[in-house]
């Protein structure tokens, strides 16, 4: 349940910028390969935001899909998992997108 620590980090990062201003909504980027489960994040965010200016804020979560590039043949392709095999058969593949974990923006009152 690292989403609890992730939620705390989200609240800390936002408050560092917006202080005591009430936050109405947050836009997060949680890549599909980031290892963070959006539903668990929503659940723990509610707990962590309680009593802070982020309490009750809407969470809008963008979930970009995974991308990978084969180091053998150079092909780029989409992937939904971390066990990635290039269509050419090579397992020497670098994940290039989908691991993002960002606070994109917030809406303050």
Partner 1 sequence: MCGTCGCEGDAGVRLTTLPDDAAHPHPHGPSGDTGRTVVLEARVLAKNEDLAVRNRRSLAGRGIVVVNLMSSPGSGKTTLLERTVRELGVQWPVAVIEGDQETHLDAERIRATGCPVVQINTGAGCHLDADMVRRGLEALDPPDSSLVLVENVGNLVCPALFDLGETARVVVMSVPEGDDKPVKYPHMFRTADLVLINKADLLPYVDFDPERCARQVRSLHPAAEVLQISATRGDGMPAWYGWLRALRPGLLPPG
Q: Enumerate binding residues for partner 1 (CB under 8 A).
A: 1-2, 4-6, 9-10, 12-14, 17-19, 21, 24, 28, 35-36, 71, 81-85, 91-93, 95, 101-109
**CA R_g for the chain:** 17
φ, ψ of residue 36 in degrees (nearest 5) = -115, 130
Give the H or E element holding residue 49.
helix 38-49
Q: Between 18 and 52, whose beta carbon lies closer to partner 1?
A: 18
Shortest distance (Å) from residue 64 CB to partner 1: 14
Shortest distance (Å) from residue 67 CB to partner 1: 15
Shortest distance (Å) from residue 39 CB to partner 1: 15
Distance from the first to the final alpha carbon of the chain: 31
Shortest distance (Å) from residue 94 CB to partner 1: 9
Q: Between 82 and 97, whose beta carbon lies closer to partner 1?
A: 82
**How buried is residue 66: exposed, middle or buried, by Cβ count under 10 Å (0-12/13-18/19+)?**
buried
């Amino acid at each position: 349940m690292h989403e609890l620590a992730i939620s705390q980090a989200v609240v800390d990062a936002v408050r560092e910028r917006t202080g005591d201003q009430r936050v109405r909504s947050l836009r997060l980027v949680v890549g599909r390969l980031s290892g963070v489960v959006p539903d668990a994040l929503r659940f723990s965010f509610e707990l962590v935001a309680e009593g802070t200016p982020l309490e009750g804020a809407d969470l809008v979560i963008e979930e970009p899909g995974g991308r990978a590039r084969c180091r053998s043949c150079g092909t780029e392709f989409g992937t939904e998992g971390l066990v990635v095999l290039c269509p050419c058969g090579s397992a020497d593949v670098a994940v290039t997108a989908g691991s993002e974990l960002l606070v994109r923006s917030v809406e303050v009152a």
